[in-house]
Amino acid sequence: METKTSTADSQPCLQLTAEALAEAGRLRSKETDPDSKALRVYVEQGGCSGMQYGLTFDEPRDGDERQEVEGLLVVVDGFSAQYLRGSVVDFSDGLNESGFKVTNPNAKITCGCGKSFEG
């Protein structure tokens, strides 16, 4: 399979806010081998709206779209890329809302928690 790398000529699959980038960097530093891990952003079936977002640290795989954001490698598999293209990943550590949140322009319906959607 071919690996797709975002370049200056192509639009990255998604964007990370400064807050999301800082939190991802903090979490990555706790990994046992942080230099070999990328931030994987993905979607899967589940959640209250049919599809849910997920973020994890993982090794890049063949077929992943890859982009580097301020030294952090971000990967998205081909299935997830079709749903995530144009999305923004943010992080909030507020009293009422805490955690990563994806703002997805492709979502037809987004649940109140911001962690699931209908594509």
CA dist 99 to 20, 64, 79, 90, 91, Å?
A: 9, 24, 24, 8, 5
Residue 20: which of 105, 95, 100 has the closest Cα?
Answer: 100
Query: What local confidence, expressed as pLDDT, does residue 90 receive?
Result: 94
**Residue ranges per domain, the chain?**
4-118
pLDDT tens string 12-53: 899 999 999 999 999 999 988 888 899 999 998 876 667 888
Mean pLDDT of 99-117: 72
Domain 4-118 has CATH 2.60.300.12: yes
